[in-house]
Chain A
Amino acid sequence: MSDDAIEQIARPRPSGTLESELWDLAATVVDPEVPVLTIEDLGVLRSVRISDQGVIVQITPTYSGCPAVDAMRDDIVAVLNKAGHSEVMVQVVLAPAWTTDWLSQSGRDKLEEYGIAAPGPRRTDGVVSLGLGVRCPHCGSLHTREAARFGSTSCKALYVCQRCQEPFDYFKEH
């Protein structure tokens, strides 16, 4: 799939004037666990539309049990309330399932600056997963090793750089 095609799926910003404004407002909400990333960067923001019941925002969780979803939901409601929209409903959609391929390029750059290695392209279905080199976000070395597959949150693994000796988080391909 081309980068443009992925971009269209990952960030379906509405075309209507008012709805796109509301989208941009909701898009200022950040992931409470990785506060450099907005929910738009992540591809978590799925749709914004105006209905008889007020503004309906749809988000998708990165992982089913991700506790950040509740915080994001509250933040979306707060940011839209503040802009004068009193009726806001946030829905959780599970399809299409979120993938790290939806992470925007600027999101990837911000992750690296923040000290988290960005995910590579997701492997397709198969039984063999190859551990390719993960670049250290501190010194850029590829001489790194996985210390723990499960890290501080569901979406991250813990790595250690064998050149600069620093530990760092790696956003797992998903």
Chain B
Amino acid sequence: MKSSHVASTAITPESIAGAGAIASEAVALYALGLGDDALILAQRLGEWITNAPELEEDVALGNIGLDQLGHARSLLTYAGSAWGKTEDDLAYFRGEPEFRNRQLFERPNGDFAQTIARQLIASVYFDSLYRELSTSTDPTLAAIAAKARKEVDYHLDHSVQWLNRLGGGTEFSHERMQRGLDIMWACVDELYSADPLAEDLKGISVDPQTLRADFDVLVPRLITDAGLQIPTTPQSRGGGRLGQHSESLGPLLAEMQVLARAHPGASW
């Protein structure tokens, strides 16, 4: 998603949650991981604008991406408060190994069904994550999560509708949807693995491993209801939280960062 907001209106750490909350180093690293997840997914969704199969989906994927960008802005602003950096510093002036997103979110869009599969897995994860994070003892993280969860609700609904439509549609759409699930499934284990950036944050962070049960109950049922098969895809090695990424992240960052790097400090 091309972020063209004027530098002067960038949300400052002081303006988030109104309290001028400054994150500790440990909380900042945790928020950075969550912020990167949302930012990278937003950028991928933005790639659909003018390319979606129908106008309504252009608008829907753009809007879902915009919500994700909103979550990213809040989380990265909060993370940046620990280091005196703005959301823009973090989004535009870090290199690939410094990004902490889980690998699911950088997966290329592929076709529409692959994007829906990625969004389904992502929305189920975010829904559980933000539900738990909204009770965090860190008031800023709790506020961001409570806000985000209401929006994710619509995203999940959108994914489930398309899962059913494509799964129960034509032979062709069914096949594509199955393939989409098979491809994106490789990233599920990493998504729900322990977060190395949150080991010492009891009560503040959410251990993704505790959210796995939600996924295991809900997603297979949704897939079966749509007449599709639960994938048995081998799992990827992961490592996104440690800055290990697939070859597709570099080009995404190049596009996202090119303007800000060509004109450092510019506002428009």
Contact = CB atoms under 8 A, between A and B. Distances in A.
Interface of A: 58, 61, 63-67, 70, 73-74, 89-99, 129, 147-154, 158, 172, 174
12 contacts: A61-B147, A63-B70, A63-B151, A64-B151, A65-B67, A65-B69, A65-B71, A74-B9, A92-B15, A96-B146, A150-B63, A152-B59
A167 B16 CA distance: 37
Nearest to A46: B18
**What's the dominant secondary structure at chain B's contact region?**
helix
A93 B147 contact: no
Contact of A97 (B63, B146, B154, B158): B146
A49 B262 CA distance: 41
B60 A148 contact: yes
Nearest to A172: B154
Contact of B5 (A70, A98, A151): A70
Contact of B18 (A73, A93, A129): A93
Interface residues of B, number: 35
A73 B143 contact: no
Given A63-B151, A95-B142, A97-B146, A147 B18 contact: no
Given A64-B74, A67-B5, A148-B56, A95 B143 contact: yes
B63 A154 contact: yes
B23 interface: no
Given A65-B70, A150-B158, A90 B15 contact: yes
A120 B214 CA distance: 30
Nearest to A74: B9
